[in-house]
Structure formats: structure tokens, C-alpha cells
Amino acid sequence: MGVTDSLYIKMNSRGKPLTPFEHFKADFEKTIKDVSQELYKEFIKKVDIDWVDMFWKYRSEDNEIDDEFMRLYRFVTEMICYDQSINIINNDFDLATEVYGKDNPNAEENLQFLFNALDSWKDIENIGGFFKNTFSESQSKINKVVLYTGAINLFSMCCHNYGKTSGKRRLFSFVNTFLLYAIQLYLIHKDEISADAFVKRLRIVRNLAFNSQDETRETKLAGLLQDVKNIILEEKIELNSLGFSELQKQQELDKIQWRNDNTELDHILNQLEDHKLLQGNIAIIGLDKPEIFEKQAANFINLFNGEIHYKGISKALLTIGDYSQLVSWRFLFGNTNDSTWRELFTPSKKRKRFNETKRILSILLAPDTTDFQAYISNLINAYRVSENTVKNWRYYFIKYPNMRKGKSGVYNWYNDPERIKANQYEVYMMNTPQALSGRHWNPFLYEIAQNDSFKSKVTLEEYGAKLVLNKKNEKLECKNDGWYLYDSEDNVTQKLEIDQTDGNDIEDRIEIITDFLNNYLD
């Protein structure tokens, strides 16, 4: 905290030098007094009495509330800065002069906003209870907004973390900043905004905040916070502003109209929005078919309720078609972690084939069933035993679990210049999602390497290596037309050609190589 030339160090009532907070407070009192005698008197009264109690519960380990007060003060002050295009200064004394000093024509208005903000928290009898009534941690609940985290008391989090960083990461995140600003505006204007309207608008802010990661950065905060202000105070969404994602804003506008036209389905839309894999973006289901929306939404929620393993759902989708999405030179599939599915279900200009994912998922969600466990199992089993099933790459991905062991859910068809999965059996399973500098394997070789019959007889190194046949001093490679054996100098010694029709295997190439190796390695 800085020191001004006009203020000397004096002794407080206990005969000790002023603490940094007391020093700032004394200087701030002078700043206020120069602007308004009335506001000065109000500050003197409230800062040591009215506003102290609300911070006491959130005090630090040394039983002081100085830092907690200053972090909330800093939050409110910086919100004013973003709103009025005031340059944010690290020094608290200088920033107070810029925002609240007599040379600022909006000084009195800004002080009143600060006082109103602090008063609004003082007027809440139980701040923790307020957040519990406003947010839900994970489950969709009526008149609440899901935050997908156990940390929902944004007031407490702001008091302890606002302005602090860990490396380059803000401890009080951008999303939390948008949400707390939304709440702060509501509390100040509570007499003008009904409780129902507030929750409705806060839901929109949540949806935009969670689905505008590409747009969220320090240099865009003014536009983002202006969007929050417009939504909370006026329920106005401006498409062409320099704020949240334009795609998501259009979706929110569409939802407003859709809710007006389909009031009986409003609660179903809320439940769908609140799902942890969607977090406000329901594009994967869409609003274009209200006649089947309720069934599709309910089936999505039931299918992704945590009871069915994600890999089972992925297999079921693959029985219908190729639901993957293209990211530059690699393809993304749903895997064992939430993040891969969340990415698939959120449209992005960085990925292609979203509409194909949507189409295939819609087919999976079409049946009238409540027993999705049985439905998924039957779908996969029927695909595997059918004589009509084509032995393309999807067949192998469904049948052989080791071919889906990569942590990222990302695959690279490395002999596929058009990115259409040409040479479909020449593929890498990637352990990291973005670069081949991370571990990766040919999944057909990986399946062989994980076979209990061969584990002691073969070695599969990482980074796309061939499979080593230990005692033979040979290597095995899976290519589009079959299996190739190489000697130590990389000369082809044998080739097991796979009969194909239209580029698809007629026989199971894993079974063929397994039979061969059982004899060859004995």
C-alpha cells in the first residue's frame, strides 16, 4: 500500500503507528471530505461501525479484517474503473484519487456507488445463506443457478482472493468477477428488479461467462462487464458489443423467445442448461424442434447421469456413425473425462463436424426408454454380432477397449491429407490432446501389446513406434492394407495382407495377427 506526501505517520489511540489500512482510511477520509462533507460524515460513521460486522466472519487468522475490506473495496472500485474507462493503478492511494477525488467529475456518484455496494452487503442478514439460496453447487434446482463447484460464496472468495494471483492465474477468476458484479448490481438496484427476474438474468450471465472462454481476457473486461450490466439492469443482450461470445449471445436471445413461446417447457430447458456437460450451452440439443425437445432433453439428462460409463456411450454413438470433431489435424472423441464431452457439445469455430455430432447424438436420444443401461448395452451387442457390420475403424474402436486407452480422446490419422480418415487403419492414439510430442501409439499395435498372451514377448515403445517382437529381433507395423514385419534394418520380411471391400477389412485384422503371433512367437 502506498504513502502520500500529504499524510505523516501519526500515533493511533493505542500509541502505535497507523496500520497500512488505517493509513489508507485516513487518507481516503480526506479525499471524501474534499468532495462532499455529507458523504464524509456518512463514511466516518459506517466504516468503523456499520460495515465492520459483515467482514468479521471472514476475518483473517490474525483476527483482522483490514485486507478483507480492502479486497472488496478494490473489487467495487475496479468495477467503476472498467465502467468509466479509468486506468487501473496498483497503488490504492493513487487509484482512490483517480476514482473518488475532487478532480473526477463523477466523484460523488462513484462514492455513492461504493457506499451503496457496502450497504447492500450489510443489509443481508446472512451472506452465506444468500449465496446458498442463489446458487446450487451441482444439481439443477428451481430458482437457483448451478455453479458446478462447492465454492459458491463469492463474497467470501472476493474478500480473501480478489487481486491475488498464482503464477498468471487469477485466484478470483474472471467468471467469479462477472457473477459477483452481476450480484452487486442487483443488490444495489434490488427495489427495481424482482427476485425472479434477477435469477433469470443471472442465469444468462452464467451461461455467457462459462461459454466465452475465447473472448475472456484482461483487455476485453470493459466490454464483458458492460454486457453484464446491460443484462442485469435491463435484460438487454447486445449482439455486436465487444463482450461475450456472439454465438452464445445469439443462443441466449433465442432462448428468451423460445421460453416465451414454450412456457410449459421452461423448467426442462433450465435442467438441460444446468447439466455439467453443457453449462448453459444447449446447442447440441438445439431449440429448432420443440415437439421433441422435452424427450431429447430428458433422455440426455438420463443418459449422462453418471451411471453409464462414458466409454459405453462413446461406443453406442460409434454404432450410429462417426461423431468425432476435427480440430486442425486431429480428431476429438468423448473419453473418460468430462472435459472431452463438454468440448464436443460446445460449438466452436476451432472445430469442424459439430452438426454431425449433433445428428448422431439426436438418433441415440430418440427412443422412448428409461433404461439407458440396457439400451446402450443392447445397441453395442447388436452391432458387434451383426453380419452386416462393416469392419471399418469404428468396428475396431467398439470391439477392442485398449484402442481407446489414450487419456485425451484425440486421434490423428497420419496418412490422411484431406482429413477424412483416409487410410483408416493408419492412426495414432494420442495421450495428450494437442501435440504429437506427447506419448502416442498406433491403437492396433497397442491392442496387441496389451494382450496377456504377448506381454512378455513384445515391446511397444511410445511416440508412434513399431511393435518389437523381442526374440525375433523384428518389428511389426499396422498399415492400411495389412500387417508388415521388418528386420533390424527396416527391410520388409513378411506381409499379412488383409482382404478388403471398398477399403474396409473383410476379416478382423486383430484376430488375424493374434493367430499369426501365437504360432510365430512360440
pLDDT in tens, 123-139: 999 999 999 999 999 99
Give yes or no for a contact between 291 and 368, defined as CB atoms under 8 angstroms apart: no
Average pLDDT on 137-155 reads 95
**pLDDT tens string 191-219:** 999 999 999 999 999 999 999 988 899 99
Q: How confident is the model at residue 8 (pLDDT cuts 50, 70, 90)?
A: very low
d(CA 108, CA 105): 8
Give yes or no for a contact between 323 and 335, defined as CB atoms under 8 angstroms apart: no
Q: What is the pLDDT of residue 270?
A: 97
* Local structure of 302: helix, strand or coil: helix
* Local structure of 428: helix, strand or coil: strand
pLDDT(2) > 60: no
Average pLDDT on 336-340 reads 94
Which residues, at least 6 apart from 214, have a Cβ–Cβ distance to it below 8 Å? 245, 348
Q: What is the pLDDT of residue 13?
A: 52
**pLDDT tens string 84-112:** 999 999 999 999 999 999 999 999 999 99
Which residues, at least 6 apart from 121, have a Cβ–Cβ distance to it below 8 Å? 54, 72, 127, 155, 187
Q: What is the pLDDT of residue 5?
A: 42
Q: What is the pLDDT of residue 62?
A: 66
Q: What is the pLDDT of residue 52?
A: 84
Q: What is the pLDDT of residue 242?
A: 87
**pLDDT tens string 410-467:** 999 999 999 999 999 999 999 998 889 889 999 999 999 999 999 999 999 999 999 9
| Least confident segment among 16-25, 172-181, 331-340 | 16-25
Q: Which DSSP helix (H) or strand (E) runs through 35?
A: helix 20-35
| pTM score, whole prediction | 0.90
**Paired strand residues for 479:** 482
- Measured in whole angstroms, the distance separating CA 184 from the mean position of its chain's CA atoms is 24
Give which of 168, 157, 179, 152 is closest to 72, Cα–Cα.
Answer: 157
DSSP 138: S
Q: How confident is the model at residue 9 (pLDDT cuts 50, 70, 90)?
A: very low
Domain residue ranges in the chain: 20-123, 130-271, 283-389, 391-521
